[in-house]
Structure 1
Amino acid sequence: MLSPSPNSSKKAFSRVALVGKFQADGIDEHLRELAKLVSRLGCEVFIEASTATQLNIKDYPIKAAEDFAGAIDLVVVLGGDGTMLGIARQIAGSQVPLVGINMGRLGYMTDIPFQSVQDTLPKIIAGDYEADTRTLLDAAVIRANKEINHALALNDVVVNRSGISGMVELAVHVNGSFMYNQRSDGLIVSTPTGSTAYALSAGGPILHPHVAGILLAPIAPHSLSNRPIVLPQDSITIIEVINGLDVIVNFDMQSQTNLQSGDKIEVRQSKKTITFLHPRSHSDYKTLREKLHWNEYPSTF
C-alpha cells in the first residue's frame, strides 16, 4: 500500500489528473494505488476521461484532457514514453506540467520507477522538483495548396514509405532555400526530445533536451552523402513528395496521413511547449547511460 510522506501537508499542486496506459498489466490496481496516495497528500484527484473509460474507473471525478487548462495543476502519467507522448500533445500549451511514472523499463520521459513513487511523488507535489520545458513540432500537410491535416509532434514528424514499396523521392527546402532531392526510405524531422527515438536508430546525433534546434535525419538514404543535419530552431522545413508509392507521414508514430506525389509537409517549431517535472536527483546523462548501456565512470570520479 502506498502511503504519503511526512511532509504531505505542504503542496504546490492541488488538483491532480491521472493518466494510465490502458494495455499495461496491472495498470488498474496501480492507478488506484496512485490515486489513493495523491488523495492522502491532500490533493483533489481526477482521472483522465479515456483512461477512466478504458479501465472502468468510477471512484473519482473524470476530466477530459482538453479541459485540463485552468482546471488541473499537475498531470501524473502512469505507463511508458508512448503514453506520455500522447497526453503531452493533447495538453501542450496549457501550462499544465507532467510527471512520468514508468511501469517497467526506464523511459526517457517516464523516468520515475513505480517502486519509488511513495518517496518521490510527495516531494514533487510539495514543490521539490526540477522543471524541464520541451519544444514540439508543428506540421501541416498541404495538397493542391490546401491544408488537409495539421498536427503536433513532441518527438518527430516522419515521412516514409510503407514496408513493401520502394524508395521515396523527396525534395527538401529550408526557409525557402532548396537543400536537396533525396531518395531514401524516408526522412525524420525531430525535436531534441525525439533525437533519442527513431532519429537515433537512423544514425542521427543525440541532442540535449535544451539544445535549440531541429534535426533532419534521412532513413537509409540511397546516397551516403545525405547525412543528418541540425537546423536552427526558427527554421521552416518543407518536404515535397516527388515520387513514391504508399508514402505516409507519421506524427510521433501515433497518427498518420497517407500522401500523394506533390503533397508537401511544412514543419516548424511550435509556439506551444510542454513541461516535465523530475525529482531533484534527475540527470539526463544518467538516463542516457542506463538506456544506452554506456560504460560508467569508476566510482572514484
Structure 2
Amino acid sequence: MTDFKHIALVANIQLPEIVDSLKRLITFLTESGYQVLLEQKTAELVGDSQLPVFDSDSLETSVDLIIVVGGDGSMLSAVRSLVRYDIPLLGVNRGRLGFLTDILPDEMESQMKRVLAGEFILSSRFLLDVSISRKGTVIGTGAALNDVVLHPGKSVRMMEFELYIDGQFVYSQCSDGLIVSTPTGSTAYALSGGGPIMHPNLDAIVLVPMNPHTLSSRPIVVGGKSDIEIRVGSRNELHPLVTCDGQTDLQSEPGDIIQIHKKARQVQLIHPVAHNFYETCRTKLGWGSRLGIDERTSDRINRLVN
C-alpha cells in the first residue's frame, strides 16, 4: 500500500488556484521520481504536458494512488466514477470546507512527502446505491458518497411519500423531501437539515426529513445494511427529483419506487497521519476549542473540588 510508484492526478474545475496547485504537484512528483498520469480533463487544464493520459480500462493495473485536486465536490465526483477500482484516493484542498480533501495548499509538498513515505491514515467509506422503478422496471440508477435526496426540484410545494425500512412500513409523510445520508455525508446537507453528526467509521445510515408537516417527525439512524424504500405518493402533482451528492439528478414520477442500500464496494480515502475527525469538525464547523487549562492547573482544581 505504501509503494506508490504510479500516481494519477484528477481535477475538473478550471480555476487559477487549482491549475497552479496541479503544476506544483506535477513538478514535485516528477522530480521525486514518481510516474505521473493525468485524467483527460486534467491534462487539458495543465496544457502543454508530455505526461501520459490514463486509460480507465487499465487504471486498476497501472495506478497505485489517485490524487484529487479541488474541493469536496471534486472528490465526490471522483469517488463515484472511480469506486469500482481498488485504488486509494487522496485530496488536495482547493475548495472551501475540505472534509474530504485534507492536504493544505501551503504545505502541499511537505504533507505529500510524508504521505508518500507511508505516514498516513487509511479510511474506508461506503457509498449508497439508488434505483428508481416504475411499474416493475428500473428506469434510473445512481450512487452517492454523501447523500441521496428526494426533493421537489424547483417547486416549493410539499410532496407525499411512504418510507419502508427492511420491508417494514415506517411512516407516510408530507414534507419537502427526505435526505438519506452516509456517515461521510452527515456533516453535509443532512447536518443543515437537523441531522446528527456521525463518525465516519460508523456502519449506519441517517434519514433526515426536510421540513415535515408534523412536529413529531425526526431524523432516524438505521443500520448500514438496511434496505430503504421510498414510495412516491400516487396523488402527487409533482415529479420529484432524486439527487446524488448534489451533483446528479434522477427524475421520478408519482407511483415510482425508490430503493436505497449500501454499495458492495467501498472507497479507500487517505488522510495525513495527523488527521483527526473531531479537530476537523472544530475547524470547519466553528466548534469551541479548549479552555487553555494546563494539567497542573487542572490537578489543583480537582484537589480543591474534592
Report the TM-score, using the length of structure 1 for normalisation.
0.92
The answer as to whether partners of 1:66 and 1:90 remain within 8 angstroms in 2 is no
Quick one: which of 264, 272, 275 aligns to 1:279? 272
The answer as to whether partners of 1:161 and 1:244 remain within 8 angstroms in 2 is no
Larger strand proportion of the pair: 1
Quick one: which of 230, 235, 244 aligns to 1:251? 244
Say whether 1:173 aligns with 2:164. yes
Give 1 or 2 for the bigger CA radius of gyration. Answer: 2
Extract structure 1 runs of 4+ deviating beyond 3 A: 53-58, 64-67
Q: Gaps spanning 5+ residues in structure 2: where?
A: 296-306
What is residue 3 of structure 1 aligned with on the other side? none
The one-letter code sitting in structure 2 at the alignment partner of 1:107 is G
CA distance in 2, matches of 1:296, 1:244: 49
Please tell me the root mean square deviation across aligned C-alpha atoms, in Å. Answer: 1.5
CA distance in 1, matches of 2:255, 2:46: 43
CA distance in 2, matches of 1:89, 1:66: 16
1:133-148 superposed matches below 5 A: 133-148=124-139
Q: How many residue pairs get matched?
A: 291
What is residue 201 of structure 1 aligned with on the other side? 192
* Cα distance change, pair 51–64 in 1 and its aligned pair in 2 (3 A): farther
What is residue 181 of structure 2 aligned with on the other side? 190
Quick one: which of 44, 56, 71 aligns to 1:80? 71
The answer as to whether partners of 2:160 and 2:174 remain within 8 angstroms in 1 is yes
* Cα distance change, pair 104–236 in 1 and its aligned pair in 2 (3 A): closer
CA distance in 1, matches of 2:99, 2:137: 36
Quick one: which of 85, 92, 116 aligns to 1:101? 92
1:97-136 superposed matches below 5 A: 97-136=88-127
* Cα distance change, pair 55–119 in 1 and its aligned pair in 2 (3 A): closer
| SS of alignment partner, residue 272 of structure 1 | coil
The offset of 1:165, in angstroms, is 3.8
The one-letter code sitting in structure 1 at the alignment partner of 2:227 is I
What is residue 298 of structure 2 aligned with on the other side? none
CA distance in 2, matches of 1:112, 1:218: 34
Larger helix proportion of the pair: 2
What is residue 151 of structure 1 aligned with on the other side? 142
Superposed CA deviations along residues 30-56 of structure 1, whole A, max 9, x for unmatched, are 211111111122210011122223554
Report the TM-score, using the length of structure 2 for normalisation.
0.91
The answer as to whether partners of 2:12 and 2:41 remain within 8 angstroms in 1 is no
Quick one: which of 61, 76, 80 aligns to 1:89? 80
Quick one: which of 200, 211, 216 aligns to 1:220? 211
CA distance in 2, matches of 1:58, 1:140: 40
The one-letter code sitting in structure 1 at the alignment partner of 2:152 is R
* Cα distance change, pair 85–196 in 1 and its aligned pair in 2 (3 A): same
Superposed CA deviations along residues 172-202 of structure 1, whole A, max 9, x for unmatched, are 1111111111111010111000001110000
Superposed CA deviations along residues 2-59 of structure 1, whole A, max 9, x for unmatched, are xxxxxxxxx6200100111423233223211111111122210011122223554532
CA distance in 2, matches of 1:278, 1:160: 33
The offset of 1:72, in angstroms, is 0.8
The offset of 1:247, in angstroms, is 0.9
| SS of alignment partner, residue 266 of structure 2 | strand
* Cα distance change, pair 106–252 in 1 and its aligned pair in 2 (3 A): closer
Q: Gaps spanning 5+ residues in structure 1: where?
A: 1-10
The one-letter code sitting in structure 2 at the alignment partner of 1:227 is R
| Identical columns (%) | 38
CA distance in 2, matches of 1:237, 1:244: 23
| SS of alignment partner, residue 61 of structure 2 | coil
CA distance in 2, matches of 1:198, 1:36: 36
Quick one: which of 282, 294, 297 aligns to 2:287? 294
* Cα distance change, pair 212–37 in 1 and its aligned pair in 2 (3 A): same
Superposed CA deviations along residues 189-218 of structure 1, whole A, max 9, x for unmatched, are 110000011100000000000011011001
What is residue 5 of structure 1 aligned with on the other side? none
The offset of 1:104, in angstroms, is 4.7
CA distance in 2, matches of 1:44, 1:256: 36
| SS of alignment partner, residue 62 of structure 1 | coil
The one-letter code sitting in structure 2 at the alignment partner of 1:235 is S
The offset of 1:66, in angstroms, is 5.5
